[in-house]
Amino acid sequence: MIDLNCDVSVAAGYKSASQQARVISEAWYLKNAYCLACDSDEVKATKRNTPANDFVCPKCGHRYELKAFKRRPRKALNDGAYKTMMEGISAFRAPTLCLMERTVDWQIRSWSAIHSGFLVPNVIVKRKALSDSAQRKGYVGCTIRLDQIAPDAEISVIDKCVIVKVEDVRRRFQRFNGLGTEPIEQRGWTLLTLWIVRRLRKASFTLAEVYQHEAEFAKVYPANLHIRDKIRQQLQVLRDLGVLVFEERGTYRLLS
């Protein structure tokens, strides 16, 4: 059972507020988190005995990266090295991002997971290399464009201090497990289609409405000359994932 209260005593040996916050949230996560991708009730830190924001499920190997905030970003999220992220994506081992928010008195207010399957190259932005004067000169980090990821990616585990039922969380999360094994380019198309479909803000939509966004697809995939065929194919992939259903000819309905 998840306990929303954090144990602040674990940070006793740390001086800076940011280090304390990290250690407290990591200890909380290790004690309370469960795997969303399978039925494992625990996750492990990847590096034993050291505070680390990387966790892995001992049963299915799904990886998680913890990001704790007082107030989480909505638009963009700065992450680690660009190269590591891109290599992780190509090797199908990008982590699911766990975004957590806490109250001033150290209760977990929210925890939502961004499914790793949604991390594709077109939502990862390379940052400028750190300048000569910086401690880590030449380091190139990355930014994850949360505002370019379909809202389906984000699965709420704790919402405003209310714990969502584990079965519901897992059902919503595992629906997208298959995405993680799709070749990157194929997955990029699927997710761009989903993002555009969600932005229509309609429960039912027509093929013609998606075609109106053809230029956006062309911008991301300039070499592809058959964008409309690709869009129709991706709508089938989304149907197979259980995101939408086909109604009468040329009309689609989103399921949730």
When asked if residue 59 is in the footprint of Zn ion (CB under 5 A), the reply is: yes
- Candidates 20, 40, 84, 186; binder of Zn ion (CB under 5 A) is 40
Any residues with CB less than 8 A from the CB of 113 and at least 6 apart, and which?
Answer: 36, 64, 96, 97, 98, 99, 154, 155, 157, 173
Residues 62-81 that bind Zn ion (CB under 5 A): 62
105-118: b (≥16 Cβ within 10 Å) or e: ebebbbbbbbbbbb
Query: Of 37-45, 146-154, 170-178, 222-230, which part binds Zn ion (CB under 5 A)?
Result: 37-45
Helices (H) and strands (E) in the chain, counts: 7, 13
- Reduced to 3 states, what is the DSSP secondary structure of residue 130? coil
CB of 242 to Zn ion, least distance (A): 20
- CA–CA dist 52, 148 (Å, integer): 27
CB of 191 to Zn ion, least distance (A): 22
Nearest to 44 by CA among 36, 29, 217: 29
CB of 62 to Zn ion, least distance (A): 5
CB of 29 to Zn ion, least distance (A): 15
CB of 144 to Zn ion, least distance (A): 22
- Candidates 60, 203, 220, 245; binder of Zn ion (CB under 5 A) is 60
When asked if residue 38 is in the footprint of Zn ion (CB under 5 A), the reply is: yes
Which residue ranges make up the site for Zn ion (CB under 5 A)? Answer: 35, 37-38, 40, 57, 59-60, 62
